[in-house]
A = this chain, B = another copy of it.
Amino acid sequence: MLIRALVPGDRPVIAEMLGHCGAFSPEEIRVALEVFDEGAASAGPDGYALFGADQRGHLQGYVCVGHVPLTASTWDLYWICVHPEAQRRGVARALMAHAEAHAAAHGGGRIVAQVSGRPNNAAVRRFYQAMGYELVGRIHDYFKDGDDGVFYRRVIGPPDPSR
């Protein structure tokens, strides 16, 4: 499995994957594709970085990460999605490790992620905790009533040089 940068031509496969993985609402898919279009079109340091897990030409999953504006070295793990037929094979773990290494190589000192607190999202939260993410906050009813926003953070680099 190769982790590679995504390009605009990957869009149809990403759209299909987002629809089939079952975790995202139509509005979430629309926003994910907006972010894909912006990230895949520009390779600049300030936008979204997109990486896919490519198994002999077939994308198994992807991750989207980017520097948080107005922070010195905090990055956000905006999106991670694995095709249902490729789950439970370490794809998400490989994507996340690659995204963290990319952030660290570009000055990232920590990663944050914001995850749904819905009961049916418990596997995702366990995954973040298994990857070394620490629970740092919970906003009740953030996404909607009964769906909290749960915030995670992991330190990935040395302290900011400007301290």
Residues of A within 8 A of B (CB): 27-28, 31, 69-74, 109-110, 112, 136-146, 151, 153, 159-160, 162-163
A151 nearest in chain B by CB position: B137
* B137 in contact with A138 (CB, 8 Å): yes
* A142 in contact with B112 (CB, 8 Å): yes
Quickly give the copy total for this chain.
2
* B140 in contact with A139 (CB, 8 Å): no
Q: Kindly list chain B residues whose C-beta atoms are within 8 Å of the C-beta of A31.
A: 69-70
A68 nearest in chain B by CB position: B142
Rounded to whole angstroms, the CA-CA distance of A72 and B73 in the bound complex is 30
Rounded to whole angstroms, the CA-CA distance of A143 and B112 in the bound complex is 12
* A163 in contact with B144 (CB, 8 Å): yes
Rounded to whole angstroms, the CA-CA distance of A74 and B28 in the bound complex is 15
